[in-house]
Structure 1
Amino acid sequence: MKAGRRSKEGRWAWRLTGFVTLCVYIFMFAPIVATVILSFNASMFGGFPMTGVSLRWYAKLLTNEPVLAAFQTSMWIALVTAIATTAIGVVTAFALVRFEFPGKQALSTLVILPALVPETIVGVGLLVVIKAIDQPRTLLLLVLGHILLAVPYVVLIAQARMVGIRRVYEEAALSLGASRFSSFREITLPLLVPAVVAGAMLAFTISFDNTSASLFWRPAGVETMPTQILSMLKTSISPEINALGTVMILVTVGIPLLGGLILQSLTRFRKKAT
């Protein structure tokens, strides 16, 4: 009797968990789905029911110079951030996993700290420092800020991969006369390729999609894609915003998917080679 009651309670608990999970997913993804659907609405007034299907708002984006400039700026910043962050993160992860040195724990905490502190706090803090030293906001400082925010995630990904790589491969190369740099380049780095690709894609996405920190660090007259959307929302809720939001979704979702396809291709190629 008790076993049957427990089994019934367990089923109800799982059903309740599934219902709550479904509600959470609907709450998270319903606005995204609505944005994508309304970006194809022919009417100038976004809302349901739709009056027709049209690509006019995407065509209008292609002639919107501020949007194109913001897109180009975001892509350039994200690309530089991904390259610099991947290089810094891989080298830092290699040092933290393979070597023992004074202050190692402090360095590890310092590297991960930007991921633990809210972006708004980091943005305000760096802005206060910039104002205190009377340094004007420049595009270089914006890129450095994005690198600061993305480095912890690349380090964590590279560290997780480094832990799974045995030291014996590097030690064998060193015993055969290879230098430490050659051992890293020829042995460790190829094994780190999945982490390198994943870290670069994640850093690109973090930079491209950053809003709060970019609001504080961008120089006057420079807009990124998220800040451009915010500035457009201040004037009116145009259907162009839905189209621009859809483009943002495609980039932020498409880049990780592309990274996954690249990793699968590299894995298959490596299996065939061996």
Structure 2
Amino acid sequence: MRRGLGWYLITLYAVMVYVFMFLPIVVVVLLSFNANQFGAFPMTGLSLRWFEALWNNEAVMRAFRTSLLLGVLTALISTTLGVLAALALVRYRVPGRNLITTVLIAPILVPEVVLAVALLLFLNFIGIGKSFTLLLFGHVIFTLPFVFLVVQARLVGIRRDVEEAALSLGASPVQTFLSITLPLLMPAVAAGGLFAFTISFDDITGTLFWKPGGVETVPTQIFAMLRHSISPEINALGTVMIVLTVGVPLLGAALARRLAMKSGR
């Protein structure tokens, strides 16, 4: 009886934690469809007027395009570097491999605000000011460890003798990588790239330190709008962000599973 009561209390506590975490998100999504200008319950009706206003807001759309460009470039660079680093550290005997691995995953261990300030101070010390390139560089540093760990975990599970068989049949190392290794790695590559895009698109801490004047991403645009007033457009923009940041990883997981099934055949 005591055991049943204990599990009941644990379940109740878990439900309360999840309600506390996700109820604000549900409220934001609901208020983004509110017909009334004032965000309050009960809602007076359903409307898409705030999404339409968001579409006609040039500042928001410019920030959205900047975030998309930044996220795509970050994903491409981080994925390329992550795949190359994983190949080098898993398939070859690199001197100081453990040290290099620690350095690669260090940005995950260091608080992002510390990393942002350190990078900004270092680049200012060597005479490099804020720019879009600096912003891209910072996002790559922060997302590269995630891609590296995902690809490394997949690469460890790929049998080496499959690649050696291709090499023994006359294939060059490049042909072996493109025909054998890369198709087997594609689930991890796709997942790592989508995760890098999501992290970059959703980042605000580092972006606030690295972005130049006049350049806004979607998170920093939301932050700037909140400093002036709480507009219903913010709820609509928050809903779009929720859909992207939740939908892209789910899409990545589905794509990785599909590619894994194909490679398993």
TM-score, normalising length: structure 2: 0.96
Q: CA contact under 8 A between 2:88 and 2:94: conserved in structure 1?
A: no
Q: How far apart in 2 are the matches of 1:253 and 1:230?
A: 20
- Residues 223-266 of structure 1: per-residue CA shift (max 9 Å, x gap): 00000000000000011100000010111111122223333443
Q: How far apart in 2 are the matches of 1:268 and 1:101?
A: 32
Query: 2:230 aligned with 1:204, yes or no?
Result: no
Query: 2:68 aligned with 1:85, yes or no?
Result: no
Tell me the amino acid that sits aligned with residue 243 of structure 1: A
The residue number in structure 1 matching 2:133 is 140
Shift of 1:270: 5.1
Q: What SS does the corresponding residue of 1:43 show, helix, strand or coil?
A: coil
Match of 2:167 among 166, 170, 174: 174
Q: How far apart in 2 are the matches of 1:72 and 1:246?
A: 17
The residue number in structure 1 matching 2:178 is 185
Q: CA contact under 8 A between 2:184 and 2:263: conserved in structure 1?
A: no
Shift of 1:157: 0.4
Q: How far apart in 1 are the matches of 2:260 and 2:120?
A: 43
Which segment drifts farther, 92-101 or 142-151?
Answer: 92-101
The residue number in structure 2 matching 1:55 is 48
Tell me the amino acid that sits aligned with residue 135 of structure 1: I
Q: Describe how 1:254-265 pairs up with structure 2 within 5 A.
A: 254-265=247-258
The residue number in structure 1 matching 2:150 is 157
Query: 2:66 aligned with 1:73, yes or no?
Result: yes
Q: What SS does the corresponding residue of 1:192 show, helix, strand or coil?
A: helix
Tell me the amino acid that sits aligned with residue 213 of structure 1: G
Q: How far apart in 2 are the matches of 1:193 and 1:205?
A: 18
Q: CA contact under 8 A between 2:73 and 2:136: conserved in structure 1?
A: yes
Which segment drifts farther, 60-69 or 89-98?
Answer: 89-98
Tell me the amino acid that sits aligned with residue 232 of structure 2: P
Match of 1:127 among 116, 120, 135: 120
Task: Choose 1 or 2 for highest CA Rg.
Answer: 1
- Residues 28-59 of structure 1: per-residue CA shift (max 9 Å, x gap): 11111000000011111111111211111111
The residue number in structure 2 matching 1:107 is 100
Report the CA distance shift for 1:269/1:159 in structure 2 as closer, same or farther (over 3 A). closer
The list of structure 1 runs, each at least 4 consecutive aligned residues, that deviate by more than 6 angstroms after superposition, is none
Query: 2:231 aligned with 1:238, yes or no?
Result: yes
Q: How far apart in 2 are the matches of 1:111 and 1:244?
A: 34
- Residues 9-29 of structure 1: per-residue CA shift (max 9 Å, x gap): 322222222112111111111
Report the CA distance shift for 1:13/1:100 in structure 2 as closer, same or farther (over 3 A). farther
Percent identical among aligned pairs is: 52
- Residues 34-85 of structure 1: per-residue CA shift (max 9 Å, x gap): 0000001111111111121111111100110000000000000000111111
Q: How far apart in 2 are the matches of 1:240 and 1:142?
A: 26
- Residues 142-161 of structure 1: per-residue CA shift (max 9 Å, x gap): 01110110000001101110
Tell me the amino acid that sits aligned with residue 49 of structure 2: R
TM-score, normalising length: structure 1: 0.93
Q: What SS does the corresponding residue of 1:87 show, helix, strand or coil?
A: helix
Q: CA contact under 8 A between 2:35 and 2:45: conserved in structure 1?
A: yes
Which segment drifts farther, 45-54 or 186-195?
Answer: 45-54
Q: How far apart in 1 are the matches of 2:161 and 2:145?
A: 27
Q: How far apart in 2 are the matches of 1:230 and 1:172?
A: 55
Q: CA contact under 8 A between 2:143 and 2:199: conserved in structure 1?
A: yes
Q: How far apart in 2 are the matches of 1:251 and 1:222?
A: 21
**Matched residues, number:** 265
The residue number in structure 1 matching 2:87 is 94
Match of 1:219 among 199, 212, 215: 212
Q: What SS does the corresponding residue of 2:44 show, helix, strand or coil?
A: coil
Q: How far apart in 2 are the matches of 1:208 and 1:37?
A: 23
Tell me the amino acid that sits aligned with residue 178 of structure 2: R
Unaligned runs of 5+ in 1: 1-7
Unaligned runs of 5+ in 2: none
Report the CA distance shift for 1:85/1:257 in structure 2 as closer, same or farther (over 3 A). same
The residue number in structure 2 matching 1:4 is none
Q: How far apart in 2 are the matches of 1:10 and 1:127?
A: 54
